[in-house]
A and B are shown apart, each in its own frame.
Chain A
Amino acid sequence: MNAKMIPIKVLGAFAALIWILLPAAVSGQELTSEQIMNRVNKLVSPETVKARIRMVIVTSSGKRRTFLYDSFSKDRGEKNLIRYIEPSRVKGEAILMLNNAEDIWIYFPRTKRVRKLATHTKRQKWEGSDFSYEDMGTGETFLKDFNSKKLGSEKKEGYDCYKIELNRKRGSDVGYSRLILWVIKENFFPVVINYYDRNDPGTLEKVLVQSNIKEIDGIPTGMKMVMYNKQDNTETSMEILDVKYNVKLDDGLFTERGLRK
């Protein structure tokens, strides 16, 4: 053995020390907005998701409409399929969104008809709720469609949060001009998101609040989310009844054939 060479054991111990100390060093540093949003994106766009969700719409007149649906997502949210279970009037209806909701198809079981929607419809209300098709089907939109800026730290919903502003990139046709996110420092979960008008960055359009955060399959998950529409004075809540991450989902599910099943 060459005497000048560092023994393998010493090298290994040094590497282990770096491995242990590095996250602490990083967390001690101020993370940039890009680093934070990369962590957020990784969290909110797992490889695959399968969930059963109850959605409750509360109209401006206080009437409630409840929907139950199964949701399937693949390739970090790039492919999405939603299939209604309840109420009876929409039972069996299904929505397929591909390419981050650039392509949308709807299946109507009563007529056995599949209709392709143009992208202008992605900003329409989804089943009369305060979520748009775009809200439901865009995977990595935070990174692809927006530039990020860190506004500081703030306490929100009882959590220590990073406050991040996202401004729409030039050339993007995403339906919001600006977003403000409050990201929990501990786990990078976006607990509150403010959505601003497509054409007026000063007009607050909607606020999403996530609560009852549980760790499912190692991923922090807001078991309840409420979207408040500040313009229409309505709200829509979603409650996750069951969720599984990184399950095997066949590509065939995200096709017209899968839509009609």
Chain B
Amino acid sequence: MNNGKGPIWIWKLCLVLSLSIGKPVGSFAQKVDIYGYFESQFMPSVLKDEFYQLTTNKLRVDLESSPAGQVTFGANFDFISYFGRKEWNILDYLPGSVTKVIPQKQRRFFNLSYNDTIFLDNAYLKLSFRFVDLTLGKQQISLGTGYAWNPTDLFNFKDLLDPTYEQPGHNAIRVDIPIGNRWEVVTIYTPEGRWGNSGKLIHLKGGMEHLDWSVIGIEKEWTFTDYLTSTSLIQKRKLLGGAFSGELFGLGVWGEVAHNDMGKTNDFWESLIGLDYTIRSGTYLMGEYYRHSLGKTDYREYNLNDWMQLITGEKKAISRDQAYVLIRHQATDLINIGCSVMASINDGSVGVVPTLSYNLFENVDLFTYLNFNLGREGKSFGKSWGNGGMLRLRVYF
């Protein structure tokens, strides 16, 4: 996990480079564009017949400045406060058959606390030249073409209930080299303590006719945790994969595939295929299928580590084959209604998430969803997760 403490030398390098193209950093203050949003989220849930609620208030302040055509500075601060039930225990959400092996005195290791926080989410300097862009600092890294899952992305972990929510920044040095109008090479280096355990990425992107495609290679340190023994297995993960996005017989079609070479555990494949279409009434339909070659096909084999690695983002799915379906319709000029369905094909469990978004005023959005887990306890979308929802009011400035 990224802890937000980037090496100071990146900032020194930023300073030197910005000075070298003739504009002092001090002049940023005169031209800084400030914008962002405030959002309040109310998240009720019903778990084992008990009602709980958690409310968050988040202020995001974005700063952006472009003191010269070639230089852009961007940053954002997040201030988040929590109210309601702030102490949770992850084991409360897991099937009893799995948690019964945990001794009572070890249960506290699974406690989860939400504490008020202020942090610098992104802070980067982008230098643009004719044949290269260089981005230095804490920045978002978005990879892959999938909506609900991204097999080629080792930097982010999506929440299936809210897959398009913004992802955190990562300390990185990024170089974009365009080759013609539709080809591009991207390299990203995410520095850790040593060169050997730092992340490295190379991404070749291209386009032909109506098809965009890419090939990607990533080397990144990866941790699998054994939650029974509280030990971590750190290894080097090497991903080689590709992604595409295009059109077939009038349908939008996209996909990703990745082979993961693990240093100490079993290698595995992840793949995704997606389709979408807009029918005449304007209703948008989308479906994705995701497969993890080491995912389990019998839910009775799901163990504590499977569940915990899913929750912490160490892996993207617990069962081998998953599906995600989304239907969205513009009910009025300002209201969109929709419903997403998440399913494990192997264990037959389903989660249903009806959604509504409403542009209340010029810069005010309301978004709400409910989520129902309809599977039997112990399955991917089983009753042990409880049912709940979220109401988000966001004001942009």
User: Which residues of A line the B interface, CB within 8 A?
Assistant: 57, 59-61, 63, 65-66, 87-89, 91, 102-103, 108, 110-121, 123-125, 128, 198-199, 232, 234, 251-252, 254-257, 261
Do A91 and B142 touch across chains, with their CB atoms under 8 A apart? no
Q: A65-B334, A112-B140 are in contact. List 14 more A-B contacts (CB 8 A).
A: A59-B332, A66-B362, A111-B167, A115-B245, A116-B245, A121-B252, A121-B284, A128-B334, A199-B280, A252-B181, A255-B178, A255-B181, A256-B182, A257-B176
User: Which residues of B line the A interface, CB within 8 A?
Assistant: 35-37, 128, 133, 139-142, 145, 164, 166-167, 176, 178, 181-182, 184, 205, 210, 212, 245-247, 250-254, 276-278, 280, 282, 284, 330, 332-334, 359, 362-363, 365, 394, 396-397
Do A59 and B334 touch across chains, with their CB atoms under 8 A apart? yes
Do A87 and B396 touch across chains, with their CB atoms under 8 A apart? yes
User: Nearest Cβ distance between residue B277 and chain A, in whole angstroms?
Assistant: 6
Q: CA separation between A6 and B181, bound complex, in Å?
A: 54
Q: Residues of B contacting A108 with CB < 8 Å?
A: 164
Q: CA separation between A66 and B359, bound complex, in Å?
A: 12
User: Nearest Cβ distance between residue A197 and chain B, in whole angstroms?
Assistant: 10
Q: CA separation between A125 and B133, bound complex, in Å?
A: 33
Q: Residues of A contacting B205 with CB < 8 Å?
A: 256
20 CB-based A-B contacts, threshold 8 Å: A57-B333, A59-B333, A60-B333, A63-B334, A65-B362, A89-B394, A89-B396, A91-B35, A111-B140, A111-B167, A114-B142, A116-B245, A119-B247, A120-B277, A121-B284, A124-B282, A232-B333, A234-B333, A255-B182, A261-B128
Closest to A88 in B: B396
Q: Residues of B contacting A117 with CB < 8 Å?
A: 252
User: Nearest Cβ distance between residue A252 and chain B, in whole angstroms?
Assistant: 7
Do A257 and B210 touch across chains, with their CB atoms under 8 A apart? no
User: Nearest Cβ distance between residue B138 and chain A, in whole angstroms?
Assistant: 12
Q: CA separation between A63 and B362, bound complex, in Å?
A: 9
User: Nearest Cβ distance between residue B342 and chain A, in whole angstroms?
Assistant: 20
Do B166 and A110 touch across chains, with their CB atoms under 8 A apart? yes
Q: CA separation between A125 and B333, bound complex, in Å?
A: 10
Do A123 and B178 touch across chains, with their CB atoms under 8 A apart? no
User: Nearest Cβ distance between residue B84 and chain A, in whole angstroms?
Assistant: 26
Main secondary structure on A side of the interface with B: mixed
Q: CA separation between A253 and B133, bound complex, in Å?
A: 14
- Residues A118 and B276 in contact in the complex (CB < 8 Å), given A88-B397, A91-B35, A128-B333: yes
Q: What 5 A-B pairs have minimum CB-CB distances, sorted nearest first? A: A118-B252, A88-B396, A59-B333, A89-B396, A112-B140
Q: Residues of A contacting B277 with CB < 8 Å?
A: 118, 120
Closest to B181 in A: A255
Q: Residues of B contacting A91 with CB < 8 Å?
A: 35, 396
Q: A60, A63, A108: which has the most chain B beta carbons within 10 Å?
A: A63
User: Nearest Cβ distance between residue B279 and chain A, in whole angstroms?
Assistant: 9
Q: Residues of B contacting A120 with CB < 8 Å?
A: 250-252, 276-278
User: Nearest Cβ distance between residue B367 and chain A, in whole angstroms?
Assistant: 12
Do B333 and A254 touch across chains, with their CB atoms under 8 A apart? no
Do A121 and B142 touch across chains, with their CB atoms under 8 A apart? no
Q: CA separation between A63 and B359, bound complex, in Å?
A: 11
Q: Residues of A contacting B36 with CB < 8 Å?
A: 88
Do A89 and B142 touch across chains, with their CB atoms under 8 A apart? no
- Residues A257 and B184 in contact in the complex (CB < 8 Å), given A112-B140, A118-B276, A124-B278: yes
Do A118 and B253 touch across chains, with their CB atoms under 8 A apart? yes
User: Nearest Cβ distance between residue A119 and chain B, in whole angstroms?
Assistant: 6
Q: CA separation between A60 and B184, bound complex, in Å?
A: 44
Q: Which single member of A88, A199, A234 contacts B363 (CB below 8 Å)?
A: A88
Do A256 and B333 touch across chains, with their CB atoms under 8 A apart? no
User: Nearest Cβ distance between residue B68 and chain A, in whole angstroms?
Assistant: 14
User: Nearest Cβ distance between residue B198 and chain A, in whole angstroms?
Assistant: 21
User: Nearest Cβ distance between residue B39 and chain A, in whole angstroms?
Assistant: 11
Closest to A130 in B: B333
Do A89 and B140 touch across chains, with their CB atoms under 8 A apart? no
Q: Residues of B contacting A199 with CB < 8 Å?
A: 280
Do A102 and B334 touch across chains, with their CB atoms under 8 A apart? no
User: Nearest Cβ distance between residue A184 and chain B, in whole angstroms?
Assistant: 32
Do A123 and B278 touch across chains, with their CB atoms under 8 A apart? yes
Q: Residues of B contacting A255 with CB < 8 Å?
A: 178, 181-182
Q: CA separation between A119 and B246, bound complex, in Å?
A: 9
Q: CA separation between A234 and B140, bound complex, in Å?
A: 38
Q: CA separation between A95 and B107, bound complex, in Å?
A: 50
Closest to B169 in A: A112
Q: B36, B133, B142, B205: which has the most chain A beta carbons within 10 Å?
A: B142
Q: CA separation between A111 and B121, bound complex, in Å?
A: 12
Q: Which single member of A60, A61, A113 contacts B142 (CB below 8 Å)?
A: A113
